[in-house]
């Protein structure tokens, strides 16, 4: 029996990375460490009822940050399982992903804490002391650079896998799914540079709203999913 035919299949995609590699273990450990940095109350047991209530106020910001980290982690897990690549470029890009998440986690936590504090009038989240609107725009720049680095790395990993489709023996459906995943990360990544550009190129009174560039994702991504499914159905790949 052909070794490829013996592989497990998930979602119509043969799982070429069935065994957990050292590269994947290293990446998983980095994401796990990033999550520990998000722990409510900083991992410290509250010393009073007031401290407990303040720590519970951080739950929405923690949940949002955790969900975003899981999205990036799952993107790398999916890539690892589908392709099982561990060549030089894959190692370099995965290492860059680890570096990006460890740098990105601090502005991520700060920004979500600030966002929920603003939305709830200070009842949720943990406001970050900012002197003026200019500092808020610079915070969006830092966050946007980290976000773009994360989405860009996963985009490059999937593009690299697609470039080796002949060697990996991707069938028509697998090639289509890989192209769709590349476009998925393109669309997920676009708000990052858009937000950074708005924050850098507009006055602080306008740049302070640059974070709303990410609000397009709940509309764009489901629409992309529907269009991709229809395209797959038209090609009779589903």
List the chain pLDDT tens, one digit each, 238 residues. 456 666 777 777 888 887 777 788 889 998 988 888 877 545 566 667 777 777 777 888 888 989 999 999 999 999 999 998 889 999 999 999 999 998 888 888 888 888 888 888 877 777 777 778 888 899 999 999 999 999 999 999 999 999 999 999 998 999 999 999 999 999 999 999 999 999 999 999 999 999 999 999 999 999 999 998 888 888 776 5
Q: Which residues of 52-64 are buried (b: 16+ CB within 10 A; e: fewer)?
A: eeebebbebbbeb
Domain-located, residue 103 = yes
Domain-located, residue 61 = yes
Domain-located, residue 48 = yes
Which domain covers residue 93, as residue numbers? 9-234
**pLDDT for position 1:** 42
Q: What is the CA radius of gyration of the chain?
A: 20
Domain-located, residue 1 = no
Please name the helix (run of DSSP H) or strand (run of DSSP E) that holds residue 93, with its range, or none.
helix 88-119
Domain-located, residue 3 = no
The structural domain count of the chain equals: 1
Domain-located, residue 223 = yes
User: CA of 65: how far to CAs of 9, 104, 105, 146, 236, in Å?
Assistant: 31, 11, 8, 13, 38
The DSSP-derived string for 4-59 is TTTS-EETTEE-S--SPPHHHHHHHHHHHHHHHTT-GGGGPPPSSHHHHHHHHTTH
Domain-located, residue 2 = no
Rounded CA separation 7/13 (Å): 10
Domain-located, residue 63 = yes
**pLDDT for position 41:** 45
User: CA of 90: how far to CAs of 17, 93, 188, in Å?
Assistant: 13, 5, 21
**pLDDT for position 182:** 97
């Amino acid at each position: 029996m052909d070794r490829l035919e013996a592989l497990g299949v998930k979602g119509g995609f043969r799982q070429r990375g069935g065994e957990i590699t050292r590269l994947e273990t290293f990446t998983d450990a980095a994401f796990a460490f990033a999550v520990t940095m998000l722990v409510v109350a900083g991992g410290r047991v509250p010393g009073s009822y007031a401290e407990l209530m303040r720590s519970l106020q951080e739950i929405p910001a923690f949940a949002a940050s955790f969900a975003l980290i899981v999205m990036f982690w799952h993107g790398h897990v999916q890539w690892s399982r589908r392709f099982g690549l561990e060549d030089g470029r894959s190692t370099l890009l995965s290492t860059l992903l680890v570096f990006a998440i460890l740098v990105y986690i601090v502005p991520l936590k700060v920004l979500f804490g600030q966002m929920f504090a603003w939305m709830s009038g200070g009842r949720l989240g943990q406001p970050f002391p900012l002197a003026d609107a200019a500092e808020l725009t610079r915070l969006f720049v830092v966050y946007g650079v980290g976000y773009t680095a994360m989405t860009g790395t996963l985009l490059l990993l999937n593009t690299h896998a697609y470039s080796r489709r002949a060697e990996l023996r991707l069938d028509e459906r697998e090639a289509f799914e890989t192209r769709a995943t590349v476009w998925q990360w393109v669309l997920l990544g676009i708000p990052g540079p858009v937000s950074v550009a708005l924050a850098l190129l507009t006055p602080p009174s306008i740049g302070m709203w640059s974070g709303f560039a990410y609000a397009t994702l709940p509309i764009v991504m489901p629409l992309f999913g529907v269009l991709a499914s229809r395209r797959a159905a038209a090609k009779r790949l589903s």
